[in-house]
Structure 1
Amino acid sequence: MTIEILYDANPREWPAYKQAIPAALKARGIDHNFSRAVLPSDADYVVYSPSGGIHDFTPFTRARAIVSLWAGVEKIVGNETLTQPLTRMIDPGLTQGMIEWVTGHVLRYHLGMDVHLASQSGDVWAEDVIPPLASERPVSILGLGALGAACGQSLARLGFPVMGWSRSHKSIPGIACTSGANGLKKCLQGAEILILLLPETRETHNILNAQTLKLMPQGARILNPGRGGLINDDALLAALDSGQIAHATLDVFREEPLPKPHPYWAHPQVTVTPHIASATRTSTAAIAAAETIAAFERGETPPNLVDRNLGY
């Protein structure tokens, strides 16, 4: 039986996905029609992202699932018309990309690369800027999902002591896992470098604010490749200006692209990257989407099924 799959994601990515997803489905023995022209009433699945055009899911009466190409689902999970199962992107390529971005920026901070690069212009021999060994540089990660766990374990293998926090307690080799209010406080107090990899929910919105930033060691550094709404922007700017936080590297923002007048652009202690910490790569995302559809076709619950109550 041929299943009907509607593509409703970024139109610019259609030329790549119209080749990659059918190939991945064919390799899994799934007879299908994958098109941008499938009628809502005929669609068995929707390959979706918020950059597509669908806002009302009511006409999709036959759809067995909405398969998101994005890891984050905060833009859709609260849609009241969405009654179909929703899955999010869990992709080895996305995970590896995040590991590489996080590791690179942690090492930039740890090794004092900015000082040495700046000294080039003045021919300064900055021999007194010697970093501690990784074992002496505690790192904390807020969010221990697939991305947070992978990044934490990679940093631990480099020798960093890694502490992680999640809403529900977890046990992950190489990471000192915490949870709850006391665990969050402990994570923040011990973080010379803090990495945010939480989903954005009611509970995590503005999790970094004036009060929680004060818990961190003076001169700590922050990486946010998670979600823009995790940080209260005004509070972070104040903490940077006071010296409480030495630097922040931010890849995600409440409004994207980041508006030109935003103070982050000109702030000397902020590095802006354009939401590229873990870009979805067509080749691996297509395989992940096909695996999700194949799981539904086998009558299985895929591991990336979104829990509406948790919001991710």
Structure 2
Amino acid sequence: MIRALFSAGDHVWPEYLEALPPAFNTEGLIVDLSRSHAPETVDYIIAAPNGPVQDFSPYTFCKAVLNLWAGVEDIVSNETLTQPLARMVDPGLTDGMVEWVVGHVMRHHLGIDAHILGQDGEWRTDYPPLSRERPVTILGLGELGAACAQMLATLGFPVTGWSRSQKTIQGVTCLASDTGLKKALTGAEIIVLLLPLTDATTNILNAKTLALLADGAFIINPGRGPLIDDDALVAALDANIAHATLDVFRTEPLPENHPFWKHPQVTVTPHIASTTRAKTAATCIAENIRRGEAGEPFLYLVDRTKGY
């Protein structure tokens, strides 16, 4: 009998209690799933970083901690967590992120705001460029960034992607290194941020890098709030940036007195770009448990030295 401890909020437990057993059955696993196993009996921990288990040291026989979130910055630095840690790569989360990103890229590309918000009797006849004339840059080419880049390239946008390590994605110009970052940002008209949050990526969009973007550029951030220097962005909105659509923030919920709320060139969405879906996440969790029991390498293991 495999014992799996579920360590996440009460509100998601019913969804996973419904989704995980069928996924385990599909993999031929007999799993005792509970929220209250004794630590010394636990084989796997299915954990949200804000879940009840914060001290992993009692779980001496635990083979892996399976993160329920795509981001691991809130758990990877936990010194008590010495077990292998796997990121969540959820097809449902990926599909949701692609839909949200493409929707907002198209919104800004087509100038939809002007027609929705500008119902003032003015007959506006400004035509948008074709997608092939609108360069888009995506910072971050992991599972989410790569999927968004491929979909936007399919729609005809010239897509440049930047990541800390060199990637190869068909139809996408892939860059790396500091020189590559400057090249990726220079002249970009729409930029999407999907980087992991590390010391190296904090404030990656700052006064210096924001100045590289094309005049009238649009920024879309469904990644992590601290990827952007807030003060530098507010200043850039008065200079070369047309609009910023932000789904993530340094403090969430975004404080009522934050300047983003009332800035006419900022759209705030409440961290809803995408989320882990229990039904599809269960498949990922079951596959990693199957691998652990079969002695195969776990999928999506976190590199502790890189932080993701």
Q: Give me the TM-score of the superposition, normalised by structure 1.
A: 0.97
Separation in structure 1 between the aligned mates of residue 111 and residue 76 of structure 2, nearest angstrom: 40
Q: Secondary structure of the equivalent of 1:153?
A: helix
Residue 293 (structure 2) aligns with: 297
Separation in structure 1 between the aligned mates of residue 257 and residue 292 of structure 2, nearest angstrom: 46
Separation in structure 2 between the aligned mates of residue 303 and residue 44 of structure 1, nearest angstrom: 17
Q: Secondary structure of the equivalent of 1:11?
A: coil
Q: Deviations over 1:234-283 (max 9, x none)?
A: 1111111x232111011111111112121111111111111111111111
Please, which of 224, 227, 235 is the counterpart of residue 227 of structure 1? 224
The ranges of structure 1 where at least 4 consecutive aligned residues each deviate by more than 4 angstroms after the TM superposition are none
* Superposed displacement of residue 82, structure 1: 0.7
Give 1:48's aligned amino acid. A
* Superposed displacement of residue 299, structure 1: 1.1
Give 1:83's aligned amino acid. T
State whether structure 2 residue 271 is matched by structure 1 residue 246. no
**Number of residues paired by the alignment?**
308
Residue 92 (structure 2) aligns with: 93
| Mapping of residues 195-206 of structure 1, within 5 Å | 195-206=192-203
Q: Is the 8 A contact 1:250 1:272 kept in 2?
A: yes
Q: Is the 8 A contact 1:140 1:190 kept in 2?
A: no
Residue 124 (structure 1) aligns with: 122
Residue 180 (structure 1) aligns with: 177
Please, which of 254, 260, 265 is the counterpart of residue 258 of structure 1? 254
Separation in structure 2 between the aligned mates of residue 125 and residue 163 of structure 1, nearest angstrom: 35
Q: Secondary structure of the equivalent of 2:12?
A: helix
Residue 279 (structure 1) aligns with: 275
Bigger CA drift: 18-27 or 99-108? Answer: 18-27
State whether structure 2 residue 26 is matched by structure 1 residue 30. no
Residue 151 (structure 1) aligns with: 148
Residue 20 (structure 1) aligns with: 19
* Superposed displacement of residue 302, structure 1: 2.4
Give 1:174's aligned amino acid. G
* Superposed displacement of residue 303, structure 1: 2.7
Separation in structure 1 between the aligned mates of residue 50 and residue 176 of structure 2, nearest angstrom: 34
Q: Secondary structure of the equivalent of 2:260?
A: helix
Q: Deviations over 1:130-182 (max 9, x none)?
A: 10000000000011111111100100010000001011111110100111111
* Superposed displacement of residue 190, structure 1: 2.8
Please, which of 189, 192, 196 is the counterpart of residue 192 of structure 1? 189
Name stretches of at least 5 consecutive residues in structure 2 with no aligned partner. Answer: none
Q: Is the 8 A contact 1:99 1:151 kept in 2?
A: yes
Q: Secondary structure of the equivalent of 2:219?
A: strand
Separation in structure 1 between the aligned mates of residue 280 and residue 24 of structure 2, nearest angstrom: 13
* Superposed displacement of residue 20, structure 1: 0.9
Name stretches of at least 5 consecutive residues in structure 1 with no aligned partner. Answer: none
Residue 141 (structure 1) aligns with: 138
Q: Give me the TM-score of the superposition, normalised by structure 2.
A: 0.98
Please, which of 280, 287, 303 is the counterpart of residue 307 of structure 1? 303
Give 1:116's aligned amino acid. H
